[in-house]
Each structure stands twice: as structure tokens, then as C-alpha cells.
């Protein structure tokens, strides 16, 4: 069993496995080199050999305990025939939504469109030592996918007032999203993903109706993933009440964000915990990094804990700082 599986399944503490959210990406010079020759980001995600190579880059460099497949949460709307583009220094831009088009998509069309993602997982799965390392597949949570499909760009701090105006559209979309996220999860697991992480990057935007848009739709995916025999890690970024989230949604593990006090969490939540360290700490000096890293390791020393960040690693992060982080975690006892 891998260290992460021991931590999640057997609830062992003191193992401190480590991987980093967004580890396969922009801060790595070897990624930037591939990216500079591949302007179309979606096409790059769908080039199975390159996607697998990028997935393994951070493993080769830092020997992390898990690889996370190089893909994107927005492959879901792409698979549903909504246009998805990534503009430099801006982020994602989605095309118009047409419910009639969405209704015509079936499981076969969808899986065919995303087939290269599954092939990339399969190629990667055959290249890693599966007794030692996990291969993480992932999806966006229904709420975050809904936000992107309706808002079409990353929201700022608040949703537009008319976001919820078309109740019929929202309800139809949520049911389509649930169906195809499950297909996407199943395909990733069948291709070799050993853990699924659900990214709810915009959970913090919601103040009301959290059961309706977060708990219930996420619970549906968590139960489905568990039924496939695979652990599921949730990251409800910015949600106020992590304890309530865990009590209701019952993920196999939960990733906390950097606004959360880890001391409160360790007292109140008994499922395995992942993450927490503010990715901006990696932009400071080595001593601060060591101190902050040890703070998390000490707080979680008697709790099943997977070391990770409280959000994705920043693009400006220096390689030496990641090396320092890994060394601090690996030598802690
Ligand atoms: O973790 C990994 O390294 C695996 C790959 C991965 C990507 N996106 C690749 C990517 C993962 C797990 C994601 C998740 C993702 N994508 C999230 C959830 C996590 C989070 O950060 O909150 C979200 C909200 C997205 C949507 C998305 N994709 C945005 C907002 C952007 C632009 C800004 C950004 O974060 O880079 C992307 C593009 C994207 N996805 C890049 C990468 C490596 C950058 C592409 C580039 O080189 O321009």
C-alpha cells in the first residue's frame, strides 16, 4: 500500500506523504519549455504522451508521493461541447451555453472526446511504481463547474447578481454536470487513477444555499467515487464550516485552505487531512518556509496527514524552495 493510501485508508499518522496542488505546471522550467511549443492548452491536455510526460516532471524532480494527471477541471465543459479557451494573462474563457446542444450529448460522445485524458492516465499509471505512488485523477466540484459554465470566466470576489436568475437552467445544468462528472470519474479510475480529488475552487463564493449547491451535489460524487473502491479527497476552498462539510459529505480526506486555523481543524475533524500551508510562504525565505512547514507537521503529528498546500503552487515559486519544503517534510519526525 502507498503512504497516501495508508494515511487515508488505514488512518496512520506520522507518515507525512507529500504532493502539491498544481505541481505539474507553470513554475517548472521543463513544463514551460513544452508549453512554449504548444500554444493551445486544451490540445496539450489532449496530447497523451506530452500530458503524461508533464505529469511525471514533478515526480522526477521532487519524488513526490503522488502524481496528479496533467489536465484541467474545464475539460468537463469542453467534453460537453462548450467552447473553452485559455487566454494568456487572463485565464479561461468559455463560449455560449446551449442547453439543446448539451441534451444531445451521450456518454459515448463525451468519453470519446476526452479519450486522450484517459490514455494519458493509463500511460502514466504504467510508468509509476504503483506500490509506492498514487496517481490522482480529478474533477471540479459541481458548483465550481456550474460557476464556470454560466459565468464563462473566473469570477472575481463576488458572483454577478443575476447569476441565479434562470432557475431552470441551473437545475438542468446541475443534473447534466452530475451525470458527466460521474462518467469522467469512472473513466479516470478505469484508466488507472488510484485517488480522485474534487476541486471546489469557488465554494467560498456562496453564502447561502450551501446544502443545495455544495453539500448535496458533492455528496453524490463522493458516494459514487467510494462505490468504485477509490478514496476521494475534497477541497472546498474558502468554505466557512469545514467540520459541517466533512460531517455531511464524508470525503475520505479533506484538503484545508490556508485561511483555516489548523489547530481548530485537528481538534474538530477526525478524517484524514491534507494541505493548509499558504503557497505564498514558498515565495519568502527558507527559514520562514521551514518554520511554517514544521508548524503544520507538529500540529498534525498524531493525525493522518498528507502534506500539501492551502491552494495551488504559485507560478513564481523557485525550484529551490520546493526542494527545501520536500526536505523539511521528509526529515521530520
Ligand atoms: O495540479 C496539477 O498540476 C495538474 C493539473 C491541473 C491544472 N489545472 C493545469 C493547468 C489541475 C489540477 C487544475 C485544476 C484547476 N483548473 C482548478 C482547480 C484548482 C485551483 O487552482 O483552484 C481551476 C479553478 C482550474 C481552471 C483554470 N485552468 C484556470 C483558472 C486557469 C488559468 C490560471 C491558472 O491557474 O493557471 C487554468 C489553466 C491551467 N490549468 C494551467 C495549468 C498548468 C496554466 C496553463 C498555462 O500554461 O497558461
Question: Using 50, 70 and 90 to split pLDDT, how confident is the model at 297?
Answer: very high
CA of 22 relative to ligand 1 center, distance in Å: 7
**Candidates 51, 66, 72: which one to mutate for ligand 1, based on the most atoms within 8 Å of Cβ?**
72
Is 183 exposed, middle or buried (CB count within 10 Å of its CB: 0-12, 13-18, 19+)?
A: middle
Residue 104 has pLDDT above 90, yes or no: no
Region 79-83: mean pLDDT is 95
292, three cell numbers: 511554517
For position 158, what pLDDT does the model report? 87
Average pLDDT, the chain: 96
For position 102, what pLDDT does the model report? 87
* Beta-carbon count within 10 A of 4 CB: 28
Distance CA 80, CA 139 (A): 14
Residue 290 has pLDDT above 90, yes or no: yes
Distance CA 60, CA 57 (A): 5
23, three cell numbers: 505541481
Region 135-157: mean pLDDT is 96
Cell 524532480 sits on residue? 61
- Give yes or no for residue 44 CB within 6 A of ligand 1: no
pLDDT for 65-77, tens place per residue?
Answer: 999 999 999 999 9
Region 24-44: mean pLDDT is 96
Residue 258 has pLDDT above 90, yes or no: yes
226, three cell numbers: 467510494
Region 151-157: mean pLDDT is 93
Region 226-230: mean pLDDT is 98
Percent of the chain's residues with pLDDT above 70: 100
- Give yes or no for residue 121 CB within 6 A of ligand 1: no
- Give yes or no for residue 39 CB within 6 A of ligand 1: no
CA of 72 relative to ligand 1 center, distance in Å: 6
Residue 58 has pLDDT above 90, yes or no: yes
Question: Using 50, 70 and 90 to split pLDDT, how confident is the model at 157?
Answer: confident
- Give yes or no for residue 82 CB within 6 A of ligand 1: no
Dihedral, 114, 116, 117, 123 alpha carbons, nearest 10: 160
CA of 184 relative to ligand 1 center, distance in Å: 17
For position 333, what pLDDT does the model report? 82
Question: Using 50, 70 and 90 to split pLDDT, how confident is the model at 101?
Answer: confident
Region 322-329: mean pLDDT is 98
Dihedral, 234, 239, 242, 245 alpha carbons, nearest 10: -70
- Give yes or no for residue 86 CB within 6 A of ligand 1: yes
For position 54, what pLDDT does the model report? 98
Q: What is the CATH number of domain 3-331?
A: 3.20.20.210
CA of 190 relative to ligand 1 center, distance in Å: 23
Residue closest by Cα to atom 32 of ligand 1:
91
Region 168-189: mean pLDDT is 97
- Tell me which residue of 72, 66, 86 sits closest to 117, measured CA to CA: 72
For position 22, what pLDDT does the model report? 97
For position 298, what pLDDT does the model report? 98
For position 180, what pLDDT does the model report? 98
Amino acid at each position: 500500500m502507498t503512504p497516501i493510501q495508508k494515511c487515508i485508508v488505514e488512518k496512520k499518522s506520522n507518515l507525512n506523504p507529500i504532493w502539491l496542488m498544481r505541481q505539474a505546471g507553470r513554475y517548472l522550467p521543463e513544463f514551460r519549455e513544452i508549453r512554449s511549443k504548444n500554444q493551445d492548452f486544451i490540445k496539450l491536455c489532449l496530447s497523451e504522451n506530452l500530458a503524461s510526460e508533464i505529469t511525471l516532471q514533478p515526480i522526477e524532480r521532487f519524488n513526490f508521493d503522488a502524481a496528479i494527471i496533467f489536465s484541467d477541471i474545464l475539460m468537463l465543459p469542453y467534453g460537453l461541447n462548450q467552447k473553452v479557451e485559455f487566454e494568456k494573462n487572463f485565464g479561461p474563457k468559455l463560449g455560449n451555453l446551449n442547453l439543446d446542444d448539451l441534451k444531445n450529448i451521450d456518454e459515448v460522445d463525451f468519453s470519446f472526446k476526452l479519450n486522450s485524458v484517459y490514455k494519458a492516465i493509463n500511460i502514466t499509471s504504467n510508468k509509476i511504481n504503483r506500490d509506492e505512488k498514487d496517481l490522482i485523477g480529478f474533477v471540479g466540484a459541481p458548483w465550481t463547474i456550474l460557476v464556470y459554465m454560466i459565468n464563462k470566466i473566473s469570477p472575481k470576489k463576488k458572483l454577478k447578481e443575476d447569476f441565479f436568475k434562470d432557475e431552470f437552467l441551473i437545475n438542468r445544468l446541475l443534473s447534466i454536470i452530475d451525470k458527466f462528472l460521474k462518467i469522467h470519474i469512472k473513466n479516470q479510475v478505469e484508466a488507472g487513477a488510484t485517488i480522485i480529488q474534487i476541486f471546489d475552487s469557488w465554494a467560498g463564493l456562496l453564502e447561502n444555499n450551501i446544502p443545495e449547491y455544495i453539500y448535496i451535489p458533492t455528496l453524490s460524487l463522493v458516494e459514487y467515487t467510494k462505490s468504485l473502491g477509490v478514496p476521494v479527497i475534497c477541497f472546498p476552498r474558502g468554505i466557512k464550516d469545514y467540520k459541517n462539510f466533512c460531517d455531511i459529505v464524508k470525503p475520505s480526506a479533506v484538503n484545508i485552505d490556508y485561511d483555516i486555523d489548523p489547530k481548530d481543524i485537528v481538534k474538530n475533524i477526525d478524517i484524514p487531512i491534507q494541505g493548509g500551508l499558504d503557497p505564498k510562504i514558498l515565495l519568502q525565505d527558507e527559514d520562514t518556509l521551514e518554520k511554517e512547514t514544521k508548524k503544520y507537521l507538529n500540529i498534525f503529528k498524531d493525525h493522518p496527514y498528507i502534506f500539501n498546500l492551502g491552494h495551488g503552487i504559485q507560478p513564481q515559486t523557485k525550484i529551490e524552495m520546493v526542494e527545501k519544503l520536500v526536505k523539511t517534510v521528509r526529515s521530520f519526525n
